[in-house]
Structure 1
Amino acid sequence: MSKIVKLKKGFDINLAGKAKQKLANFAPAQTFAIKPTDFIGLQRPKVLVNEGDTVKAGTPILIDKALDQVVYAAPVSGEIVAVLRGEKRKLLEIRILADQSISYENQEKTDLNSLDRDALAAKLAASGVWPNIIQRPFGIVANPADTPKAIFISAFDSHPLAPDYGFALQGEEKYFQAGLDALAKLTSGKVHLNVDGSKSVPAIFSGAKGVEINQFSGPHPAGNVGVQIHHLDPINKGEIAWTVSPNGVVQIGKFILEGIYDASKVIAVTGSEVTNAAYVKTISGANVSTFVKGNLNSGHVRVISGNVLTGEKIALDGFLGFYHNQITVIPEGDYYEFLGWAKPTAKKLSYHRALGLLSFLNPKKEYVLDSNCRGEERAFVQTGVFESVTPMDILPVYLLKAIMAEDFDEMEELGIYEIVEEDLALCEFVDVSKHPVQELVRKGIELIQYS
């Protein structure tokens, strides 16, 4: 039965630079990269190609020896121009110089009625689309051999400057439905499609069949799939659920109907430091320089693949992350401001009324915020704000302290199985103690996962 969930806890970070709902005519990217660091839990990567090899979109280029049935495929056709490694030969990137016209590895179209659950999972795992399916707990690429109790899809993103999926997925209705049909066959339970209850629901979601459509409303992190799982069907120890983004559902649907791995998607180019904040059609792993260079208000900026809370800092000529649907450009904050955190001003946004009182006088104002933390890590200050921005029945401060103490029993009792980094990212934003909350969450997850 569908649910309507209204959340009160949370905080919306209203930044300047939201993308206008139009497709910009940026020059297409020429180089693309697969970054193993995008795939959390990738333990023993094995490169299947060498520099100088030619590939098609969908050609296997990487596997994890620990889960070798899952293929990580080339997003475009072209030449492998670099296999970059870091310290201790850690694999960092596999770069591809793209052809002007993309050619695809043609695989058989899929008749869902002719395949059982395991055969469908094996086919998807070998296609390149499987890494879109993420397992909870732990937030890692799912194992095709597992059967989740349910699959969850968040049809809206409440992160700062996040793209509007209704606009970005226009024209993809048949592929989205085909993806839903395939996912429904992979679970023994329901497929939950969670929409924004505070706005009109786009037709691509409201017309979806074979799923349970639930409505969520409230401040961020209402769009986080982890928060939605918590209110619909919480994950207990020993249980597994899967999550897929709307773009991932479309990729799966295109493979089902067309027999190709099509990694194209519409992303938002956002942030106060871009002159043309708009949407652009590109391909996963694209070099972002064509969207950023020549599109800046200033030269001293931070480019982020993803959003400001959970995204990854990249260079001006860096690459779009596999799971990211936006690029954000904000001012770089590498400066010292004397008593900057204590000066009342209308230019700064703060969750704390004592520090950002003036920001509460105009809640709809868009702010230009930089990357300056305005302080250093210090002892935990017990303020109670973590609980006020976490719409889940967990105690974030006690959970983080249990992680620091490496107390496994306490971590389990306090909800480590229900969260990944993004679910407590707001805690990091409001933390006066400046702790790396998301790093601590991942440390706790890994302690439990590999214990």
Structure 2
Amino acid sequence: MSNDIRIKKGLNIKLKGEAERLLSEAPRSKVFSINPSNFHAVTPKMVVKQGDVVKAGEPIFFSKNVPSVKFVAPVSGKIKEIRRGAKRVILDVLIEADAADTFVEHGVKSPSSLSGDEVKQLLLDSGCWPFIKQRPYDVVANPADSPKAIFISAFDSAPLAADVTFALKDKEAAFQAGVDALAKLTTGKVHLSVESGASSYFNKINGVTLHNVSGVHPAGNVGVQIHHIDPINAGERVWVVGPQDVVAIGNLFLTGKFDASRVIAVAGTSVEAPKYYATTIGSAVADILGTIPEGARIISGNVLTGDNVTADGFLGFYDSEITAIPEGNNYRLFGWMPFKDNYIHSYAKTSFAWMSGKKFEATTNMNGEERALVVTGEMEKVMPMDVYPMQLLKACLAGDLEKMENLGIYEVAPEDFALVDYVCTSKIEAQAIIREGLDVMIKEVG
């Protein structure tokens, strides 16, 4: 039996450029990247050097603070370069890939026949542990912790996001195996959220508590689902795993190999033929997109929370989408006038385009500069959690730990404030402020 959750506060942003449900095989990149910045709060310690030959699934670096957490090569090949920045900070590790992968073998195993400790050790040894993230703080989970529950959101409500049901349509066995493995890691429940009314094998997965979620974005955000199902209190830990990562964990047990494959949506109006591609974590963006559209912003992820990457950038570790939209480098003369440029989406309905119900072409134009943070009530209208977004942002800016705790910092992640970024007329970087606030809490509270 499932539980129903309806999200009323939020905003669906209808954009042009949605990926057509056609799946193609992306060309294999010659060079792959592992980027430590994808794993927030992890300080990498290298175990390989330039010129070393590695197998797919072989450790590249580990976490300095939690040495048992290893980060492995998505493909086999030779370490081409270890790029460093200021103070020799590791920016990324480039692997010159072999024509075909050679894997580290861990052996086929059944999660049901293993203890929780054995499952945990296999995930750590194989490099699959980074697929598991922790709330609070939105960081890689600490294997020493015991979560009160594990959450999986099997749909994404963000604009132009990949359709999880389509991307994982033939992965039922791997998904079930991944759920079985995750169930061994907690004494609590494994919660699986699906889109209400959607028909897929997710509704038939065993060993989970099923939740039908409907409503506007951010209904698909796992943080919003946690808030409505089993809120996080001080001292508690909840683990979160993405649906494609559940499949990767399941394939570890079914095949004995680290699975870095991904089905991603390539979307946006700057893409000539938006559709889905089968590719690999860390692939070169240029190899997936082919011709990089002129004057386009390339984003690894969705338009609200993704990372800006250059033409020579790479697919992020947790991303299931690449979006390309026009740069917003044009100035709209008298852009505030209601009859001007009515194709522009406006949450405040300052143009009449909202009456048409049509999809909009997104650009990166912010239509204004950063202004004073004033009370408008806009943030609260798109925040479907029992927190006061403006007050929490102010507490983060002030570094007031007590107020941050009282206002719900443990329950939120940067992505939960993406719509606040979008609708706020102050043009503040709410996601960045929340990320900094969470980092303060990690340092001071742990």
Same fold (TM over 0.5): yes
Once residues 117 and 35 of structure 1 are traced to their aligned partners in structure 2, the CA distance between those partners, rounded to angstroms, is 29
Larger displacement relative to structure 2 (388-397 or 115-124): 115-124
**Structure 1 equivalent of residue 332 of structure 2:** 337
Matched, 1:253 2:247: no
Which sections of structure 2, spanning at least 5 residues, go unmatched?
none
The one-letter code sitting in structure 1 at the alignment partner of 2:315 is L
User: Pairwise mapping of residues 260-271 of structure 1 onto structure 2 (< 5 A)?
Assistant: 260-271=257-268
User: Pairwise mapping of residues 262-301 of structure 1 onto structure 2 (< 5 A)?
Assistant: 262-294=259-291, 296=293, 299-301=294-296
- Deviation of 1:25 after TM superposition, in Å, equals 4.7
User: Pairwise mapping of residues 20-169 of structure 1 onto structure 2 (< 5 A)?
Assistant: 20-42=20-42, 44-169=43-168
Asked whether the 8 Å contact 1:154–1:224 carries over to 2, the reply is yes
- CA displacement 1:68-109 (0-9 Å, x = unmatched): 101100000111101001111111110111111112111122
Asked whether the 8 Å contact 1:399–1:414 carries over to 2, the reply is yes
User: What secondary structure, in the 3-state scheme, does the structure 2 residue paired with 1:412 have?
Assistant: helix
The one-letter code sitting in structure 2 at the alignment partner of 1:337 is R
- CA displacement 1:145-188 (0-9 Å, x = unmatched): 11100000000001110011111112211110000000001011
The one-letter code sitting in structure 1 at the alignment partner of 2:135 is R
**Structure 2 equivalent of residue 362 of structure 1:** 356
User: What secondary structure, in the 3-state scheme, does the structure 2 residue paired with 1:24 have?
Assistant: strand
The one-letter code sitting in structure 1 at the alignment partner of 2:11 is F
User: What secondary structure, in the 3-state scheme, does the structure 1 residue paired with 2:368 have?
Assistant: coil
Once residues 222 and 18 of structure 2 are traced to their aligned partners in structure 1, the CA distance between those partners, rounded to angstroms, is 22
Once residues 238 and 199 of structure 2 are traced to their aligned partners in structure 1, the CA distance between those partners, rounded to angstroms, is 25
**Structure 1 equivalent of residue 222 of structure 2:** 225
Larger displacement relative to structure 2 (216-225 or 2-11): 2-11
Asked whether the 8 Å contact 2:10–2:218 carries over to 1, the reply is yes
Once residues 134 and 27 of structure 1 are traced to their aligned partners in structure 2, the CA distance between those partners, rounded to angstroms, is 30
User: What secondary structure, in the 3-state scheme, does the structure 2 residue paired with 1:95 have?
Assistant: strand
Once residues 257 and 240 of structure 1 are traced to their aligned partners in structure 2, the CA distance between those partners, rounded to angstroms, is 28
- Deviation of 1:17 after TM superposition, in Å, equals 0.7
Asked whether the 8 Å contact 1:29–1:282 carries over to 2, the reply is no
The one-letter code sitting in structure 1 at the alignment partner of 2:422 is F
Once residues 48 and 338 of structure 1 are traced to their aligned partners in structure 2, the CA distance between those partners, rounded to angstroms, is 55
2:200 to 178, 199, 202: 202
The one-letter code sitting in structure 1 at the alignment partner of 2:88 is R
**Structure 2 equivalent of residue 322 of structure 1:** 317
- CA displacement 1:394-419 (0-9 Å, x = unmatched): 11011111111111111111110000
Larger displacement relative to structure 2 (155-164 or 96-105): 96-105
Once residues 292 and 28 of structure 2 are traced to their aligned partners in structure 1, the CA distance between those partners, rounded to angstroms, is 14
Change (3 A) 1:60 1:169: same
Matched, 1:244 2:241: yes
User: Pairwise mapping of residues 434-445 of structure 1 onto structure 2 (< 5 A)?
Assistant: 434-445=427-438
- Deviation of 1:233 after TM superposition, in Å, equals 0.3
Once residues 25 and 203 of structure 2 are traced to their aligned partners in structure 1, the CA distance between those partners, rounded to angstroms, is 30
Asked whether the 8 Å contact 2:26–2:279 carries over to 1, the reply is no
The one-letter code sitting in structure 2 at the alignment partner of 1:233 is D
Asked whether the 8 Å contact 2:269–2:361 carries over to 1, the reply is yes
Once residues 341 and 62 of structure 1 are traced to their aligned partners in structure 2, the CA distance between those partners, rounded to angstroms, is 51
Number of equivalences? 443
Asked whether the 8 Å contact 2:9–2:383 carries over to 1, the reply is yes
Matched, 1:313 2:313: no
User: What secondary structure, in the 3-state scheme, does the structure 1 residue paired with 2:74 have?
Assistant: coil
**Structure 2 equivalent of residue 3 of structure 1:** 3
Once residues 132 and 26 of structure 2 are traced to their aligned partners in structure 1, the CA distance between those partners, rounded to angstroms, is 30
- Deviation of 1:113 after TM superposition, in Å, equals 4.0
TM-score normalised by length of structure 1 = 0.96
Asked whether the 8 Å contact 2:14–2:360 carries over to 1, the reply is yes
Once residues 49 and 339 of structure 1 are traced to their aligned partners in structure 2, the CA distance between those partners, rounded to angstroms, is 56
Asked whether the 8 Å contact 1:134–1:244 carries over to 2, the reply is yes
- Deviation of 1:343 after TM superposition, in Å, equals 4.9
Larger displacement relative to structure 2 (286-295 or 98-107): 286-295
- Deviation of 1:339 after TM superposition, in Å, equals 3.3
Once residues 443 and 199 of structure 2 are traced to their aligned partners in structure 1, the CA distance between those partners, rounded to angstroms, is 41
The one-letter code sitting in structure 1 at the alignment partner of 2:199 is V
Change (3 A) 1:341 1:35: farther
Which sections of structure 1, spanning at least 5 residues, go unmatched?
none
Asked whether the 8 Å contact 2:193–2:211 carries over to 1, the reply is yes
The one-letter code sitting in structure 2 at the alignment partner of 1:316 is A
Once residues 5 and 18 of structure 1 are traced to their aligned partners in structure 2, the CA distance between those partners, rounded to angstroms, is 26
2:378 to 370, 375, 385: 385
The one-letter code sitting in structure 1 at the alignment partner of 2:353 is S
- Deviation of 1:342 after TM superposition, in Å, equals 4.4
Once residues 94 and 422 of structure 1 are traced to their aligned partners in structure 2, the CA distance between those partners, rounded to angstroms, is 26
Once residues 199 and 219 of structure 2 are traced to their aligned partners in structure 1, the CA distance between those partners, rounded to angstroms, is 15
The one-letter code sitting in structure 2 at the alignment partner of 1:266 is V
2:346 to 350, 353, 356: 350
1:406 to 387, 390, 399: 399
**Regions of 4+ moved over 6 Å:** none
